[in-house]
Amino acid sequence: MKVAIIMGSASDLPVMQDAIDILHELGVPTEVDIVSAHRTPEKLFEFSKSAHLNGISVIIAGAGGAAHLPGMVASMSPLPVIGVPVKSSNSIDGWDSVLSILQMPGGVPVATVALNGAKNAGILAAQIIGSHDKIVQAKIIAYKENLKDAVNKASDNLKK
């Protein structure tokens, strides 16, 4: 089970790297590519229609500005799509990207994380895979335990 991480341009990579990193930490294989909804529509169509045939289980799609990539992928793929709105140089404080990904019509769902929230997209993708892969699920459980431990340690340190 592999997660595809796609983005509209190379400038999105610093944000999307968080998804790549957390998935690698959790032992989930990834495939990363640039697929532009506006500049390479043929590549977008081919990727979207064939990802499920190529060993992909979940797609994370990051895009800024008009952010059509996640919705267009979701319209053609039977796989779950997680959209990451990216605050880009041509963005209106990122709200254009958030709303473009969030406000999908009925029948074309895109799970949407916070602006620049690629890490959460990676965790959600791993949780989806973990629902069928007990090894990944165990890593998610350990990851969440570590989060809890970090908060408890910070709380203890604050009280000293």
| 12 CB neighbour count, 10 Å cutoff | 23
5-47 pLDDT, tens per residue?
A: 999 999 999 999 999 999 999 999 999 999 999 999 999 999 9
Q: Residue 121 — very low, low, confident or very high, per pLDDT cuts 50/70/90?
A: very high
> Residue 73 has what pLDDT?
98
Rounded mean pLDDT of the chain? 96
> Residue 88 has what pLDDT?
84
Nearest by Cα to 4 from 43, 38, 42: 43
53-109 pLDDT, tens per residue?
A: 999 999 999 999 889 999 999 999 999 999 999 998 877 788 999 999 999 999 999
- pTM score of the predicted model: 0.95
